[in-house]
Amino acid sequence: MINGLYSGSETFLEKARALYPDFYETEYYPLPESLPTDNELWHGKSFILDFGTHIVGYLTLSMQCDGDPGSPLEAVFEFAEDLCEYDPRPYTGGLSSTWIQRETVYMDDPNAPFVLPRRYAFRYVKVTFPANTNYSVKYRSCVVRGVTSADMSAVCPLPSGTGDFIRKIDEVGVRTLKNCMQSVFEDGPKRDRRLWLGDLYLQAKANYLTFKNTDLVKRCLYLFAGIPHDNGGLSSAIYQEPILKNQGWILHDYALFFAGTLKDLYEFEKDPEIVNELWPVALRQAEIAAEAVSENGLVNTAYYFVDWCGPLDKSVAAQGIAVTMLKDTLFLAGVAGDNDAEVFLKGQIKRLEEALLKLYDPDVGLFRGITGQISVQSQMWGALSGVLDSVKTRALLEKITTDKELCEVNTVTPYAKHYLTEALFRAGLTEQGAEIVRDYWGGMVRAGADCFWEVYVPSDPDLSPYGDKRINSYCHAWSCTASYFIRKYGLK
């Protein structure tokens, strides 16, 4: 490794470029019942078109002037994934308000179809004509050219006997993944439109059971491998535009998911070639995570995301992620035939497991963070790490699913909920896992979701990690795994 570049980094980027996907385009039209009936639109009047589903694409609007326009037409477009985005109160969020999908355009020819130049993610578009023109306009037509790199024809139908509600949840999950599949696996097509390793890990899992676009997974792995930080650590996210670059953030859990994603790819394709090729990258993430372990054997939680969750003591969850992913890395060492690394990884796993076990409270049969906190996040990652035997693991998970009050801190995001659900299914608690799919992901469907949301806490529907619900993403990659569970575990 020289200056942070793996031998072959340039080759990785070339391979990523060669795997740039084809796109599938679909035309979408607004629901007839949402078309405006007012034929004298001008002077602050507006209408909201409802496309009936969530779309990622490019909009063309055609209006018709009453009489001779003589002057340009001003039109304001406000795109919304969820109707809450039309709340007129001032934006108070911490993220840039420029993620709010709004455009003001001047149509020099008000009768000509106007093609908005940027891509939007939305179900609704509100069109307002603020100007006091000398003419009015009426609606003629609107069409959206939806874009995705996901091939819908590759998705197998659910088995007969699957109930309508599970079908509906799966449909929403598949749509979520589809709309996040563009030139990379994006986290959210409204915001940040970026390739995050934590999202990729889950998207790839859902992808193998739906679109089976392994090329896009490979492209994303090559992109991460092609532009590491100076120490060889992977960035948590990658910008494609305007120039390919990694984000400054360092998250060890995200970097370790590179191994998890590579292992899942191998298990799907059984092709050792890409494992051999990317093995040094995967190993380096384990080395970096190990270097940051303190004398007491615990990882440095400052480098772990785990969940959007203010009061969370991340010590157990971070430790559990490190153990789980180092085990995946060890699996890859076997495929790559790297015996030295196997010895190294086994030693590290042992050290991390010993420290993790110290955080298990045998009296209550649960993990406690170093602050003594009991959280869902600690239990699910403690369970997934495999550090306990299967009886204790199952008991732990049964406890927290039976007594919902047991944990001081619960998950906030569908991303974190994924790991809880996965832990339940792996422990054989199939009913409890299926219940989460029905209640939690199904709860979003019952609330009218066209795609799964970035943040969902049923008891706190206005929650936003950004201080304003309207900037939340309502089609978010890390929330797509309802379809993974439905298809992997045959939910009916």
The CB-of-209 to its own copies minimum distance in angstroms stands at 32
* Residue placing its CB nearer to its own copies in the complex, 353 or 468: 468
One residue of 111, 128, 276, 300 binding its own copies per CB under 8 A = 111
One residue of 25, 27, 108, 361 binding its own copies per CB under 8 A = 108
Beta-sheet pairing, 45-65 with 137-148? antiparallel
Does residue number 128 form part of the binding site for its own copies (CB under 8 A)? no
478 Cβ neighbours under 8 A, 6+ residues apart: 187, 198, 199, 202, 203, 413, 414, 415, 418, 454
Of 66-74, 137-145, 154-162, 164-172: span binding its own copies (CB under 8 A): 66-74
Does residue number 447 form part of the binding site for its own copies (CB under 8 A)? no
Please tell me the distance from the alpha carbon of residue 207 to that of residue 410, in angstroms, as a whole number.
27
Please tell me the distance from the alpha carbon of residue 150 to that of residue 148, in angstroms, as a whole number.
5
One residue of 3, 7, 98, 371 binding its own copies per CB under 8 A = 98
Does residue number 68 form part of the binding site for its own copies (CB under 8 A)? yes
Query: Tokens 């004509």 — which residue?
Result: 129
Environment class of residue 440 by beta-carbon count within 10 Å: exposed (0-12), middle (13-18) or buried (19+)?
A: buried
Query: Tokens 């599949």 — which residue?
Result: 181
Of 48-56, 96-104, 329-337, 405-413: span binding its own copies (CB under 8 A): 96-104
* Residue placing its CB nearer to its own copies in the complex, 46 or 53: 46
Does residue number 116 form part of the binding site for its own copies (CB under 8 A)? no
The CB-of-223 to its own copies minimum distance in angstroms stands at 17
Contact 54, 179 (CB under 8 A): yes
One residue of 8, 52, 72, 490 binding its own copies per CB under 8 A = 72
What's the distance, CA 439 to chain centroid?
20
One residue of 104, 141, 231, 390 binding its own copies per CB under 8 A = 104
One residue of 50, 103, 408, 435 binding its own copies per CB under 8 A = 103
Does residue number 247 form part of the binding site for its own copies (CB under 8 A)? yes
The mark string for 177-206 relative to its own copies (x by CB under 8 A, - otherwise) is: --------------xx--------------
The CB-of-71 to its own copies minimum distance in angstroms stands at 4
Nearest to 476 by CA among 127, 177, 266: 177
Does residue number 242 form part of the binding site for its own copies (CB under 8 A)? yes
What is the CB neighbour count within 10 angstroms for residue 31?
11
The CB-of-307 to its own copies minimum distance in angstroms stands at 21
Contact 481, 418 (CB under 8 A): yes
* Residue placing its CB nearer to its own copies in the complex, 75 or 376: 75
One residue of 3, 7, 37, 132 binding its own copies per CB under 8 A = 132
Does residue number 140 form part of the binding site for its own copies (CB under 8 A)? no
* Residue placing its CB nearer to its own copies in the complex, 15 or 190: 190
The CB-of-198 to its own copies minimum distance in angstroms stands at 17
Does residue number 469 form part of the binding site for its own copies (CB under 8 A)? no
Window 248-267: residues binding its own copies (CB under 8 A): 248
One residue of 26, 39, 71, 339 binding its own copies per CB under 8 A = 71
**72: its two tokens:** 């340009």
**440: its two tokens:** 């939690």
Residues that bind its own copies (CB under 8 A): 68, 70-74, 91, 94-99, 103-104, 106, 108-109, 111-112, 118, 131-135, 191-192, 241-242, 247-248
